[in-house]
Structure 1
């Protein structure tokens, strides 16, 4: 980025509009940066690298192009919503209810809102993988601690990864939906976990459409 860029002003304006601290923006951007360095970028004649600028833009729920436009023309600024382009990480027991009625007021205090891999449509939400049942020995795998993104509006097909329940909406499961003849089964990717045939009480909550893993000093967030 050019040294005469005033993108720091746009970053600071959006951060303050969200009511965020410097630390909150660093955490939302998933980058290695001190709050002091971020404060310098916001207030001094110092342009961040493209990588840092894009990460900060994503953390703010916008794009680098928007920040650059707002830096060039402050009148183009539109106050952001904290949850714009973000989806909530739900408690598992709330997944079925959210799929029907996505009401943020029901979320526990301090719930996380994160950026999915793609712009989320409608009621998309995130869940933290709870166990090792979907951790495969090889190939596609969903280790415990990773975040899956679930789309309740997408129709589930054979071989989709789905979140559903077996009759109790407050006890959802995460499995691969497989078809054997005319019968549907729920299959874990970990061979140590048994398959389970789908019964009349089974209901799909949503189809898994994305996966994210964040690392902090070698650990999964």
Structure 2
């Protein structure tokens, strides 16, 4: 299909659509599943050839087509997917519907998470895991270490399991939480137990002791999902 030359860039078109819908970078990131730093790099032109999967997600959130974001249009904003797009990516659209991606971080980064002004630092999104969970906050994945959350019966979260942590999810009695104990640089993963006004961090493994918390602990987030990957990861 012949197109009239469009002098605007992908970032220009994305910025115009965001302005039309009154969306900032963070809100578009939440709605699309594309991380905020990635959106920022597209807007500033640092990312001159964005990944097609990211353009698909952004286009869907903005009610346009990925071809419009990529090439522009001689007329109005294209509201529907073009036939060429459909032939190439119809299956990808179905598979990625309502999918959100969050970065994998380490336990030291998790301990610093709530203190970060913008926790999604550039490059962090290079290692991400997708899910259909739409987080309330800046969610992230952690890989479980050790056997303190491995239980011989009932719920068990063994070493190597990936947990999705949402900092804005309310921590209730029985929630699985990521917390940072006073004096520690790293976060820890335990079950929150509230008994008679006293709070504890309880391992699922009965071989580990309860940890009383009383002003000596900062809750970072609640684990809302877990999944196991059979692919080896590099650390």
Same fold (TM over 0.5): yes
The alpha carbon displacement at 1:186 in A equals 0.8
Unaligned runs of 5+ in 1: 1-15, 20-56, 78-83
Instruction: In structure 2, list runs of 5 or more residues that go unmatched.
Output: 1-48, 67-79, 90-98
Q: Which residue in the other structure is 1:72 paired with?
A: 83
Could you tell me the TM-score, scaled by structure 1's length?
A: 0.58
Q: 1:123–1:183: structure 2 CA closer, same or farther, 3 Å change rule?
A: same
Q: CA RMSD in A?
A: 3.5
Is the contact made by 1:86 and 1:120 (CA closer than 8 Å) also made in structure 2? no
User: Quick one: which of 77, 85, 97 aligns to 2:112?
Assistant: 97
| Contact 1:61/1:85 (<8 A) preserved | no
Q: Residues 30-58 of structure 1, C-alpha deviation per residue, up to 9 Å, x if partnerless?
A: xxxxxxxxxxxxxxxxxxxxxxxxxxx8x
Distance 2:57 2:209 in 1: 40
Q: Looking at both structures, which has the greater relative contact order when contacts are Cα pairs under 8 Å and sequence separation is at least 6?
A: 1
Which of 86, 98, 119 pairs up with 2:134?
119
Scaled by the length of structure 2, the TM-score of the pair is 0.55
- Of the candidates 116, 121, 133, which is equivalent to residue 148 of structure 2? 133
For residues 109-150 of structure 1, the C-alpha deviation after alignment (integer angstroms, 9 at most, x for no partner) is x85111134233330101000111101112211110110000
- The structural deviation recorded for 1:180 is 2.2
> Per the alignment, in what secondary structure is the counterpart of residue 115 of structure 1?
strand
Given the superposition, is the C-alpha separation of residues 140 and 163 from structure 1 closer, same or farther in structure 2, using an over 3 Å criterion? same
8 Å CA contact 2:119–2:138 kept in 1: the answer is no
Name the residue aligned to 1:18: 51
User: How many matched pairs?
Assistant: 155
Structure 1 runs (4+) greater than 6 angstroms displaced: 60-63
Q: Distance in 2 between matches of 1:171 and 1:17?
A: 34
* Candidates 169, 180, 185, aligned match of 1:165: 180
